[in-house]
Structure 1
Amino acid sequence: MTSARVVLPEVELKVLKKFPRGTGTAASAVWQGFAGSIMLLLGSFGVGWLASSSVLIRNPLFIVARTTPAAVIIATVLLCVGAALMLRGWLRLRQHLAPWDETSAPILKKALMLWVAPLMLTLPLFSRDSYAYIGQGRLMQQGLDPYTDGISALNNYFSLGPDTLWTEAPTPYGPLWLWLEHFAVLLPAGSPEIALIPFRIACLIGVVLLAIYIPKLAARHGLNPHRALWLVVLNPVVLINFVASVHNDSLMLGLVVAGLYYASAKRPILGILLVTASIAIKPITLIALPFVGLLWAGSRAGWVRKFAIWAATLAISMGIMAVMGVMNGLGFGWLAALQTPGTVWIWYAPVGLFSHTVGFVITLLGGAGGSVTDVIQTIAQGISILLVMVLAFWKIPIPAANGVAHQNPDALDETRRHSQAVLRRMAWAFAVVVLMASMIQPWYMLWLLAFFAITGLEEGWQMRTVLYLTAFFTLIALTDQLSVFPWIPVVMVRTVAIVVGFACVLFIMFKDKATRGLFLTTKPEKAAEPA
C-alpha cells in the first residue's frame, strides 16, 4: 500500500470527528466481520451449491446439513446473520479508522485476510456460475466450441451442477478464462469441488490485485488510499460475490484496475497488456480501451495524436486477442458472446423491467409483446454504445488542482489531473452500460464502485448511495439462489432468508445506535456506541 501523504479536507474531517477512533474498537469490528465470515462458511454447508456428482453429497455431515429441514433453516439463518455481521463490521471500521491515517493500513490488511480466509472454504454461495465454468471446461476438453455450444451439449451435463438458465447459452467469457476452465477439468479428481480450486485461486488473485492497485490509483489522484481500500476491497458485496460466489469478475476487475494504474503512470504498453488480459477474462472491459488510449496520448494531445494512439492501442490489444484465438482455435468467437447476458433480465434493472412490462401489456392486447421487448432492449443497447462513444470522444477538461473532495491540498500535476478526469469519464461509460442493460447482476455494482472510488467519492449523498447499494445488494444475495433439496419447501426457506435478512440489515441501517447515523442525516450523530 502506498505511503503517500493524503490529507482529508475540513468538510470530511467534520463528518468523521463524530466517530471515535482506537485500535481496540477497530479490532472488535474486525472480529465481527470474521465471525460473520465463519457463519457464511457454516451456512454454506446447508444451502451452498453442490453438484449432484460431488463426493461431498454422500458425506454424513453434509447429508444431515442439507436434507434435514431444521438444519437447512439454521444454515439459512447463519448466512443472513453472518452477512449482516460482515456489513456491520465494515461500517464500524469506517467509524473507528477515520481519518484514515497510516495506522489504518495494518488493521485493514488484517481484516481483509481474516474475512477472506473462511470464504475461500465455503461451498459456492448464491450462484452456480462456478459449476458452469466446469461445464465449459468439459466442452473445451471434448473439442466443442463453447461460443456456439451450450453446456447441454454434454452427456449428463446436469450432474455438473450448472444453473439451467445458462445450460443452453454460449459462454460470455474470453479465451484466457476458457484456458483456465480447460485446465481445471484436467485435474485428477473425483469431485467437482477440486475442479473449483483454480477458480477460487483466480478470484483470490483478483481481490489481491484490487487491494494493491485501488489504493495506488486513489493516491495517484490525491485521494486517501486507506479509505479507498476500505470502501472497495473490504466491501461485503465484493467479498461475498468475488470470493464466496466464485465469480470471475474478481480477476477481470483486478486486471483492468492494474492496467489502468500503469497506463496512468506512463507505462501504456504494460497497461494495455493487463487490460487485454482482463478482456480475455470477460470482454466487457473492452470499454476501458479508448480511455487507456487517452491516458497514453496525454492531456495536451490533439485529434491526430489521439486517433493514432487509439489505433495503436486497439491494434496491440486485438493482436494479442487474435493470437489467443489462433492458439485455442476459436478465433474471435468471444465477440458474439458479448450478447449472452442480454438474453435474461431482472426486476431491478430499469431497462429490463420497462421492456418486459411493455411487452407484457402488448401481449395482453394481442400484439407481439416479445418483439416489442426486444426492440426496446436493442434501442437501449444502442443508446449505451452511443453514450460510451460520446464519453470517449468528448473533450475532457482537466479539473482544477483542488476540484474534488478528499483531494490532497498539494496541487496534483497536470498528468495526474488528466488521469483522474479520464478515468472518471470511463467510470460513467461503465455506468451507462450497466444501467442500460436488461440484466444487472449484484457484482456489476462492483465495477462502478471501483472506478468511481479511484476518481473520488464524496461524503454526503455519494457515500450514502454506496452504503444503501451495499445493503441492498447484500440482501439480494441472501434472498436469491439457495440450494434446497426438492422435498424441503423452497418457499419456506426463502421466506426465512427474506425475513431474517431484511430484519438484520434494516436493524443495522435504522435501529442500531452505532451505525444508523451513516444512513440517516436528519440529526447530528452522537458518539458511536461500543462495537
Structure 2
Amino acid sequence: MPPSPPSRPDAPAEAHRARRGADAAIPNPDSAGRDQSTPHRRRLPLRTIALGTIGSLLLLAGSFGGAGVLVHDPILGSGPLSAMRYGHGRDLALAVLYTGFGVLVWAWVRLGRGVLAQLVDARGVLAATAAWILPMLITPPLFTRDVYSYLGQGLLALHGIDPYSVGPSTLTGPIPDNVHPTWQTTPAPYGPLFMGIAKGVILIAGDGMISSVIVMRLVLLCGLVMLIFALPGLVRELGGRLPVALWLVAASPMTVVHLVGGPHNDMLMIGLLALGTLLMLRGKHAGGIALVTLAMTIKATAGVALPFLVWIWAARLPGGRWERLLRAGAASVAIFVPVFAATMALAKVGFGWLPALSAPGMIVNYLSAPTGVGQAVHSLVSLFVEVDRGPFVDVGRALGSLALAGVLIWQWWQAQDGGTTAVRRAAIALLAAALLSPVVLPWYLTWGLALGCALRWTPRALSYVVGSSVALVLAYYPDGEQAMYNWPFVAVGIGAAVLAGLSLVRFDPLGLNRLRRGAADPAEFDGIGPAPRGSTKS
C-alpha cells in the first residue's frame, strides 16, 4: 500500500487555536520581520484574492447606478444603460453593489483568518490589496461625494478665488454642479498643501469630471503607497506583525471602499504621518517633523501627533526632562514654521483654513459620541416637552471637546519616555480625536490605525476592528447620504458587523455547518485545509 500522504498545515486547526487564545497577543516577528513559527512554504491565498476581486468588480458594476454618480453623466446619461440610475434599475444596481461589499468583507475576514493562522504572509496581503483596489480606480465615488468638493475647491483656487472664504457655488460648470448641496457654499476645511494638490489635479485633468476623479484618486493613492512603505519599519520598531498591519489598513474595506473608492484625502494624510513617524523613531527628527507637518497641511488632524513626536526627539537629548523638551520643542517649531509657510506660499492661500475647520460641524449624527449624547438627551426631554435640538447638541459637543482635551493632555504627559511609548500614545490620541470630535465620519477610524496597526494585537481586538469597519461603512448609503436614521437598515448593518467580527475568531459563528453535518467540519482555506484521511495531524 502507498504511504499515507503527509499532513499539511491545517488552517481550521490554526483558526481554532487562535479562537482558544483570543486574548493572547499575536506572536512577535523576528529581526527580519518574519514570524519564527511560520511554515517555510506559504502559498498565495488565491481563492480569497479571487473572492475579494469578485466583490470589488460587483462594487464597480453597481456603482454606475447606485454610487455618487454625476448629475449629467456622459456615459449613462442616455441610452439603455441610463436605466441603472432610476427606479428598478437603480434598485438592481444597489443590490449588486451591496452584494459586492458583502463578498469583499467575506474575503477580508478569510484573509484575516489566514493571517492569524500564519498561513498568509505580507506578500499575500499585498497581492490581495492590489487586486481589490484595482477595480476601485475607475468607480464613481463610493459612499461619499466629497471628491467633488475637493475638485470644486481646487477650481476656486485655480481661478484665484480664496477657497477658505467662499464655496464652490461661486463658480458654474460641471464641477460645482456635482458638489453636494451641503458643501456648495461651505469654505474648504483642508490645509494649504491639499488646496495646491486640488488645483494641480484640475490643471492636469481639466473640467472633465470622470478624468478629474480618477486623477485625484491616483494622487491620493500615493498616501497608501507611503503607508505601505513605512509599515515594515514601524512594525519592527513597535513589535507588531507586518501581515496583520497590512491586513488592518491596506486590505481593509475601509481603505478599499472609502479611502480609495471614495476617495478621501485622509489617505494622503495618514501616509505622510506614518512615514514621518518612522523617521522620528529612526532618529531622523527633522525629516520626521517636516513630513508630519506636511500631513497637517493636508488635514489638520495630523497635528495631534506632533507634540508626541517631540517627546521622541526630547528623549534622545542630554539634560533634564524640561530642558530636553524645550530644546526639542524649539527645534520642532523651527522646522514646522518654514515648512507650513512654504506650503501656503506655493498654494497661494492664507490662514483662512483655520476658521473653516468648523465647517463640518453642520453635520449632526450620532457617530460622534458627544453629538450622540446630546441627541439622546434631547430625545428623552422631548418626550415631556417640545424643545429645540440645537442647545443639547451644542452642550454635548462642548463637553466632548473638554473630554478630548483631557484625553490628549493625559496621553501626551504619559508619552514623555519617547520611543514606542510616544507612538502608542499618539495612536490613542488620534483615535480619541476621531471619536470625541463634534463630527465623526466613517473613514476617521483610519487616523489611529495608521500608527496603531504596527502594534501587537490580539485576535479579539482585531475582531472589534472588523465589526467597527463594517458598521461604519454601512452608516452611509452608496450615494453618500447618511443611513443612520433608517432603523431597519441600521439593524441589518449592526447584525452584519457582529457576524463579520465573530467570523474572524470563530469558524461558522452561526452554527450552520453543525446543523448540516452534525459536527463542525471547517472548509478549506485556499487549499490548505484539513489533513487527508489516514494522515497524522501535527
TM-score (norm: length of structure 2): 0.81
5 Å-filtered alignment, 1:501-516, equals: 515-516=507-508
CA distance in 1, matches of 2:211, 2:165: 27
Partner of 1:379: 399
* Matched residue count: 485
Q: Is the alpha carbon distance of 1:134 and 1:61 closer, same or farther for their aligned partners in structure 2, counting shifts above 3 Å? A: farther
5 Å-filtered alignment, 1:135-174, equals: 135-155=152-172, 160-174=177-191
The amino acid of 1:427's aligned partner reads A
CA distance in 2, matches of 1:123, 1:32: 22
The amino acid of 1:125's aligned partner reads L
Q: Is the alpha carbon distance of 1:215 and 1:310 closer, same or farther for their aligned partners in structure 2, counting shifts above 3 Å? A: same
CA distance in 2, matches of 1:514, 1:237: 22
In the TM superposition, residue 52 of structure 1 has moved relative to its aligned partner by 2.2
Report if aligned partners of 2:464, 2:501 keep a CA contact under 8 Å in 1.
Answer: no
Partner of 1:90: 108
SS of 2:141's equivalent in the other structure is coil
Q: Is the alpha carbon distance of 1:483 and 1:496 closer, same or farther for their aligned partners in structure 2, counting shifts above 3 Å? A: farther
Report if aligned partners of 1:293, 1:306 keep a CA contact under 8 Å in 2.
Answer: yes
CA distance in 2, matches of 1:465, 1:511: 11
In the TM superposition, residue 228 of structure 1 has moved relative to its aligned partner by 1.2
In the TM superposition, residue 148 of structure 1 has moved relative to its aligned partner by 1.6
Report if aligned partners of 2:427, 2:448 keep a CA contact under 8 Å in 1.
Answer: yes
CA distance in 2, matches of 1:141, 1:303: 46
Q: Is the alpha carbon distance of 1:158 and 1:5 closer, same or farther for their aligned partners in structure 2, counting shifts above 3 Å? A: closer
CA distance in 2, matches of 1:196, 1:445: 23
CA offset digits 1:350-376 (Å, max 9, x no partner)? 211112344566687466652443233
5 Å-filtered alignment, 1:512-531, equals: 515-517=507-509, 528-530=522-524
Partner of 2:479: 482
Q: Is the alpha carbon distance of 1:391 and 1:46 closer, same or farther for their aligned partners in structure 2, counting shifts above 3 Å? A: same
Partner of 1:458: 458
Of 440-449 and 148-157, the range deviating more from structure 2: 148-157
5 Å-filtered alignment, 1:170-189, equals: 170-187=187-204, 189=206
**Residue 420 (str. 1) matches residue 420 (str. 2):** yes
**Residue 207 (str. 1) matches residue 224 (str. 2):** yes
Q: Is the alpha carbon distance of 1:527 and 1:338 closer, same or farther for their aligned partners in structure 2, counting shifts above 3 Å? A: farther
**Residue 33 (str. 1) matches residue 27 (str. 2):** no
The amino acid of 1:391's aligned partner reads Q
CA offset digits 1:375-433 (Å, max 9, x no partner)? 33123223312431232234645xxxxxxxxxxxxxxxxxxxx5221111111211222
5 Å-filtered alignment, 1:432-451, equals: 432-451=432-451
**Residue 48 (str. 1) matches residue 67 (str. 2):** yes
Partner of 1:128: 145
Q: Is the alpha carbon distance of 1:503 and 1:287 closer, same or farther for their aligned partners in structure 2, counting shifts above 3 Å? A: closer
SS of 2:457's equivalent in the other structure is coil
Report if aligned partners of 1:424, 1:452 keep a CA contact under 8 Å in 2.
Answer: yes
Partner of 1:470: 469
SS of 2:455's equivalent in the other structure is coil
Partner of 1:118: 135
CA distance in 1, matches of 2:127, 2:101: 18
In the TM superposition, residue 481 of structure 1 has moved relative to its aligned partner by 4.1
Report if aligned partners of 1:49, 1:124 keep a CA contact under 8 Å in 2.
Answer: yes
Gaps of 5+ in 2: 1-28, 512-518, 526-538
In the TM superposition, residue 310 of structure 1 has moved relative to its aligned partner by 1.5
The amino acid of 1:442's aligned partner reads P
1:248 alignment partner, one of 244, 265, 272: 265
Partner of 1:487: none
In the TM superposition, residue 470 of structure 1 has moved relative to its aligned partner by 2.2
CA offset digits 1:11-64 (Å, max 9, x no partner)? xx8xx99xxx9637x211111111101111101111122332442343535413
**Residue 389 (str. 1) matches residue 409 (str. 2):** yes
Cα RMSD of the aligned pairs, angstroms, is 3.5
Partner of 2:32: 5
CA distance in 1, matches of 2:103, 2:468: 17
